[in-house]
Structure 1
Amino acid sequence: MTDIGGGTAMSTGRVEAFSDGVFAIAITLLVLEIRLPEEPRSHAHLWEALWGLWPSYLAYVVTFLLIGMIWMNHHRMFNHIRRVDGMLLALNLLLLMDVAFLPFPTHVLAEAITAGEGASAAAVFYGAILVIGGLFFNGLWWYASSRHRHLGDGITPAEARALRIRWGVGPLLYLVATAVGVFSAIASLCLYVFLLAFYFFDMRPRTSGA
């Protein structure tokens, strides 16, 4: 626990609890964006309508797992953070703002692919939100780990630098996937699936005692 600004104390536990709540709400709101385009007139029409929603299912799964991956790495990050100050809170809030916004570009992308119009623009918009979120995530870790100012004894300066490099690659890869979205929204989503497979692995450096 540490003093924030005017002397109000806050623990990392409170920051994590608030962050977890935002992640949970954002990941739940995704499913609310999946809607039938019109009321089915028959059993056959219902199956046709459900099948026609495949872009929404795909966008939902990819974004659900992306938010889950961000949450996992956010949890790993705060395993090492032991002190909180105003700047760290602000950076964490910016990251959460981006996460909470993700259901909207997810809906835009799914609707564009379904309509067959504007899919490239929607894919670029979706990717841009992920790039911005990646920058906020890395800004949070860079600030916390710079000069080891907010980290505990469970991670060495060398390990913190290694994480800065590994996590720092994320926004660059998101940017590549965003650029691909200019030509193909589906190809862009496939790249995000690849990034999920990459980042779902434990990115923490192994200590000599591990």
Structure 2
Amino acid sequence: MLTRPDPPHASGAPVRRDAHEGEGATRGTGRMEAFADGVFAIAFTLPIFNIVMPTLSGSGAALGRDLVAGWPHHVGYALASLVIALYWVHHHFSGAIYRTTGHYFLLATALFLTMIGYIAFPVRAFAESIPYPDALPSAARYLVLCLALTSVTWLFKWSIGNAFGHVDDRLDPAYVARLTRLYRKVTAWNVMAAIVAWAWWPAGLVLIAMGLLIKLRPPETPRYCGEAPAIENDG
């Protein structure tokens, strides 16, 4: 007959706070989410500084023409804002999925946030290269590659969190499995887009745009095995 092992204190071993051996102390997600929101807020704000006010001279009659001439900067701002906003929305949603954090999960999250903080640069490089036909292919490939890497770091963060038990254990396992399949499919699609871009950059650009725009769809509502946890008051 199977018997349950004695708790650590019964055998004289020190009592542990959690079961994540070698990861320090497992904590809640509050500080991680606060840090991530700060990174997203800064990343969302920085692209506006790439839009420079034209220099006024004379009567200022040329202002309209100068504003129109700066359209690549505005395109870059719009694209960067879209990418960062879509990832923030899904990262905000994931706050209802993760219940704890640990050492490796935090490192994976930091890697993902590194790409979020960086992604505005390849977007800017692409937007400002649009008027220059010889530069556009390289800028497009660079953008597609960086977007694919961002998707890879999202999947890596999810995989580490899931593997190390930081996903809420009250969730329906079938629901968690569906999320895993979705993230894998989207990441595989984006990696394929990066590969295609090296052969024919317009096709790679279209594919990565499709992989990004799928994030416009709301995520599936979490399913729980028992009673769903109460929605916390965010103040």
Q: Which position in structure 1 is the counterpart of 2:35?
A: 18
The answer on whether the counterparts of 1:159 and 1:205 sit within 8 Å (CA) in structure 2 is: no
More helix per residue: 1
Deviation at 1:43, TM superposition (A): 4.0
Unaligned runs of 5+ in 1: none
Deviation at 1:77, TM superposition (A): 1.7
Q: 1:97 to 1:174 in 2, by over 3 A?
A: same
Runs of 4 or more, structure 1, over 6 Å off, are 1-4
In terms of Rg, which structure is larger?
2
The number of residue pairs the alignment matches comes to: 207
Report matched runs for 1:55-66 at 5 Å: 55-66=72-83
Deviation at 1:55, TM superposition (A): 2.5
Deviation at 1:152, TM superposition (A): 1.6
- 1:130-155 per-position Cα deviation (integer Å, ceiling 9, x unaligned): 11111110111112223x71122442
CA RMSD of aligned residues (A): 3.1
Q: Which position in structure 1 is the counterpart of 2:11?
A: none
Q: 1:60 to 1:170 in 2, by over 3 A?
A: farther
Report matched runs for 1:45-194 at 5 Å: 45-146=62-163, 149-178=165-194, 179-180=196-197, 183=200, 194=210
Separation of aligned partners in 2, 1:192 and 1:58: 17
Quick check: 1:202 aligned with 2:218?
yes
Unaligned runs of 5+ in 2: 1-16, 229-235
TM-score for both structures, normalised by structure 1: 0.82
The answer on whether the counterparts of 2:141 and 2:198 sit within 8 Å (CA) in structure 1 is: yes
- 1:109-150 per-position Cα deviation (integer Å, ceiling 9, x unaligned): 12211334311111111111111111110111112223x711
Name the structure, 1 or 2, with higher relative contact order (CA <8 Å, separation 6+): 1
The answer on whether the counterparts of 1:84 and 1:150 sit within 8 Å (CA) in structure 2 is: yes
Deviation at 1:182, TM superposition (A): 6.2
Which residue identity does 1:131 align to in structure 2? Answer: A
User: Percent identity between the aligned chains?
Assistant: 26
Deviation at 1:52, TM superposition (A): 2.1
Separation of aligned partners in 1, 2:150 and 2:75: 21
Deviation at 1:4, TM superposition (A): 9.5
Report matched runs for 1:27-38 at 5 Å: 27-35=44-52
Q: More displaced, 133-142 or 187-196?
A: 187-196
